Amino acid sequence: MIDPAWTRLEHAMVDKATAKLEAARLAPGLEAPRTVAVIPMEGLACAEALYQALEPFAGLPAIAKPAHASGSVVMLRDLRSARQLEALFALSVMDYSLVLREMQYHGLCKQIIVEMLVDTASGQSPDDYKFHCVDGVPIVCQVDHSRFGSPWSRLLRLPDLEPFDPADGLAWPSTYRRPAPERIASMIRAARALSEPFQFVRVDLYDGSDCIFFGELTFSPAAALGIAPSAQGDHAVNPTHIAYSNAMMSALRGVASPASRTVSP
């Protein structure tokens, strides 16, 4: 993570303004949320200036977020004032690589990307499936449900998306619906294709109403601080966290884990 020697492809994959193009090359046919605009931060001196740049998109079912950083997503259908953009502006003018020394972000152009929301059958935000992959093999998946409502996450095993740790103390929300087997298989194939060039990467895919969509690639999830959702907390060292860490480290050491043996090609 702190190594400055990141490849051109790795830089392109963490830049949200270019990642969709690279994803289309690695996984032809995979959809991506429609980009409405890319707004350079150069010349935008304050949140009010950013508001003026984003005001034409206010009311749309779309989001605005930094292309060169992670976090501070703004729902544009709810945009009413510059005050709502203060956190987004503050994050977007800084060198994100200096926050927690994630050097893959160093030198990226400071830009805001505006993209349309992914349609879902429920009308809510799409479930975000995060595949933790080693050498092109998805090892563990995390689902983030209701990201803009009452967020809920859980680690899932592959290929069936059953709980990775049945004793994690979590219960399925009544609003969660597991994808059909065909959709799960499509997500696993896409995760394989997108992760194949990299030793380790997390591949994020959205489960839309008609198909899956590319989300992003992350080389140091949670800045490598470790996230394993359980009733004991995301970051706490607990049996779920230890099981997740063991699965990933076994894969990185080249030891076949149960997950890597059972995932279908």
Task: Give the model's pLDDT for residue 67.
Answer: 97
Task: Give the model's pLDDT for residue 258.
Answer: 47
- Parts of the chain with a pLDDT under 70: 1, 226, 255-265
CATH 1.20.1630 fits 127-262, yes or no: no
Are 264 and 159 within 8 A, CB to CB?
A: yes
pLDDT digits (tens, 9 = 90+) for 103-114: 999 999 999 999
* Signed CA dihedral, 146, 161, 170, 133: sign only: negative
Task: Give the model's pLDDT for residue 255.
Answer: 54
Token pair 């095993």 is at which residue? 157
Task: Give the model's pLDDT for residue 148.
Answer: 80
Task: Give the model's pLDDT for residue 226.
Answer: 65
Residue 65 has, within 13 A of its CA and on its CB side, a CA count of 19
Q: Tell me where in the chain the CATH 3.30.470 domain(s) lie.
A: 127-262
pTM, two decimals, is 0.91
Q: Please give the Cα distance from 54 to 182 (Å, whole number).
A: 38
